[in-house]
Amino acid sequence: MEPIEILKQFNSCYVKIQAIAQDENWLLLIADKRIDPQAATHLADVMHYLGEAMGCVEEIVEVKTIQNY
């Protein structure tokens, strides 16, 4: 898989996870304390680390793009 394809997959995952984090049902589960209160923190951590991984891959994609011009 090429770096750009990896970045696209990461981005797709990030968008899906972000949608969950903003979903009314997810927010109600947290507010009602029907799930572990740490769940919101864990989801935020996943988004943070996925964003960090995306940043690393973006650097490679940018270098390859510059080299191809």
Side-chain half-sphere of 68: how many Cα atoms within 13 Å? 6
Q: How is residue 21 written in tokens?
A: 């984090």
Total count of domains within the chain: 1
Does the structure show a pLDDT above 80 at 24? Answer: yes
Helix/strand/coil for 61: helix
More confident residue, 12 or 64: 12
C-beta of residue 30 within 8 angstroms of C-beta of residue 63: no
Q: Is the dihedral of CA 35, 41, 47, 49 positive or negative?
A: negative
Q: What is the pTM of this model?
A: 0.81
Which structural domain, as residue segments, surrounds residue 54? 3-68
Confidence of residue 69 (pLDDT cuts 50, 70, 90): low
Residues 6+ apart with CB under 8 A from 39: 29, 30
The mean pLDDT of the chain is 92
